[in-house]
Amino acid sequence: MSSPLPYKISVLVFIENRAGEQLLMLRAKQPNLGVWTPIGGKLEMATGESPLQCAIRETEEETGLVVREDAMHLFAMIAEKAYQGDTHWLMFLFRCKTPIEALPPDIKEGRFAFHSREAIKKLAIPETDQAALWPIFDRYRDGFVSLRADCSVSPIQIKIEQIVAAQ
């Protein structure tokens, strides 16, 4: 019998500049070493941090951008089963409604760049981001969607569980 995989809870925050380009980080450590992703991080569960509080904290820690709660819009919740074969993830995806004015300085987790939505299609990004994350952003960023992704199979199987249309 195999041992159960750990379950981790995280947020991703989609931030753009005034030109509409997305801020992405080229990851310098795992998970997603060597690929471009939105910023984010794990919830501080020992303190009882909520996903919204985590999104605000990670945005400030990683980019220096200070935002209020009403500047964040939760647009997706994704349960990833067996991501990279070693962890289950519950991820909350937020769109930051406050544009970032300048490229943040590099941090230990990686370096930043702005990319157009078209350019992102050609970047080295995680398979789950290509299959689910960016299409979800394109379609639901003003509404809400809940889904699950089975990463234990190839190709990844994605199942939408609930959709709430944009208000």
pLDDT at position 1 over 60: no
**Six token digits for residue 8:** 């981790």
pLDDT top residue among 28 and 127: 28
Nearest Cα to Cα of residue 83 among 143, 119, 22, 133: 133
Q: Does residue 2 fall inside a structural domain?
A: no
pLDDT in tens, 57-104: 999 999 999 999 999 999 999 999 988 888 899 999 999 999 999 999
Owning domain of residue 39: 7-164
Report pLDDT digits (tens) over 109-127.
Answer: 999 999 999 999 999 999 8
As a whole number of angstroms, the distance between CA 5 and CA 17 comes to: 37
Omega prior to 135 cis, within 30 of 0: no
Going by pLDDT thresholds of 50, 70 and 90, the confidence category of residue 6 is confident
Alpha helices by DSSP H, 19-50: none
Q: How many domains does the chain have?
A: 1
Residue 130 has pLDDT above 60, yes or no: yes
Token pair recorded at residue 81: 């089963």
Which band of pLDDT confidence, cut at 50, 70 and 90, is reported for residue 2?
A: low
- CATH number of the domain that 11 lies in? 3.90.79.10
- Omega before 6 within 30 of 0, i.e. cis: no
